[in-house]
Amino acid sequence: MKKFNKILIGIFTFAILFTLFNVNTVLATQNPPVPVNQSGIYPYRIQAHNRTTYQFQSQTRLTVNSNVTIEGNINCDEAPMIGDKHFEIEIEAERDLQMNMTCTRQEEQLGLQLGNTYRVRNRNQNLLYQEGFCIRIQTNKSGEEQIQAKLKIQVNDDNQDGTWAFYNEAQGEWESVQTTVQGGYLVGETNHFSYWTILIPETDDTIPSFVGVGTVIGLSVIAMVLVVSLKKRK
């Protein structure tokens, strides 16, 4: 019995040490976001196999993870309007890349406005834009080079049924790609870059998140005033 108890204690001790080792390892390899509080274009450079996160104006976070070295510019001036969103891109490429990224809340010239619905390619239903996040990605990749990328954005109650979509310039319309939920993120895969965003299926009871509580309260007050006015007239 004593021998059995010693074995159990040994297993328990080993499990604790193993857990502590893994926790310390994870904590050691996770770097905090790089704060970017300046406006305008932000130049960046990330060495191969280094995962780096930038947080713009204490709001929008962009994470880049690649098997090659990547450098370029990021423009996320609209972070205060975009809000607390976390976008991540994972890239597998054949050589070092130059990559520029621009984050916006809307792209009016492409018809991407909050509350708009779209009949996109590859889908038999209307899709609604309410994410408030669009990213344009540009690289110096040539036509002969192979590149694979995963686009990720953190899941929330509003976008959990959403799909990644890109703007097909040849067709002049938005086109969706297969999207899955992995580790709390909406994930889409691609081999090319363009304007990318999240669209969600439109339903009869869909209420766009950009309609604020103040708007609802205001409409309610107006309705109450009308009711009182009608009663007084009677």
Segment 126-168, tens digit of pLDDT: 999 999 999 999 999 887 789 999 999 999 999 999 999 999 9
Same domain assignment for residues 125 and 93? yes
Closest CA to 153 of 128, 124, 171, 133: 133
Q: Give Cα 152 distance to the centre of its chain.
A: 5
133 domain residue, yes or no: yes
Same domain assignment for residues 115 and 156? yes
Query: What pLDDT is attached to residue 78?
Result: 98
Contacts for 62 with CB less than 8 Å, ≥ 6 apart: 53, 54, 56, 74, 76, 87, 88, 89, 101, 103
Per DSSP, the three-state class of 64 is: strand
What does the block give as tokens for 155? 């899941």
Predicted structure pTM score: 0.75
200 domain residue, yes or no: yes
CA pair distance 209, 12, nearest whole angstrom:
49
Residue 208 pLDDT exceeds 80 = no
Same domain assignment for residues 21 and 58? no
| Measured CA distances, 183 to 155, 180, 202 (Å) | 9, 10, 25
Same domain assignment for residues 195 and 160? yes
Are residues 91 and 70 in contact, defined by beta-carbon separation less than 8 angstroms?
A: yes
Same domain assignment for residues 1 and 73? no
Cα-based angle 63, 67, 73 (whole degrees, multiple of 5): 45
230 domain residue, yes or no: no
> If pLDDT is split at 50, 70 and 90, which confidence band does 2 have?
low
| Amino acid at the residue 198 | I
Same domain assignment for residues 61 and 17? no
> If pLDDT is split at 50, 70 and 90, which confidence band does 220 have?
low
Same domain assignment for residues 152 and 85? yes
What does the block give as tokens for 13? 């001790």
- Element of type H or E holding 205: none
pLDDT digits (tens, 9 = 90+) for 81-97: 999 999 999 999 999 99
Query: What pLDDT is attached to residue 31?
Result: 81
Same domain assignment for residues 104 and 180? yes
Same domain assignment for residues 6 and 49? no
Same domain assignment for residues 48 and 124? yes
CA pair distance 229, 141, nearest whole angstrom:
66
Domain membership of residue 21 as a residue range: 1-30
Same domain assignment for residues 44 and 20? no
Same domain assignment for residues 5 and 65? no
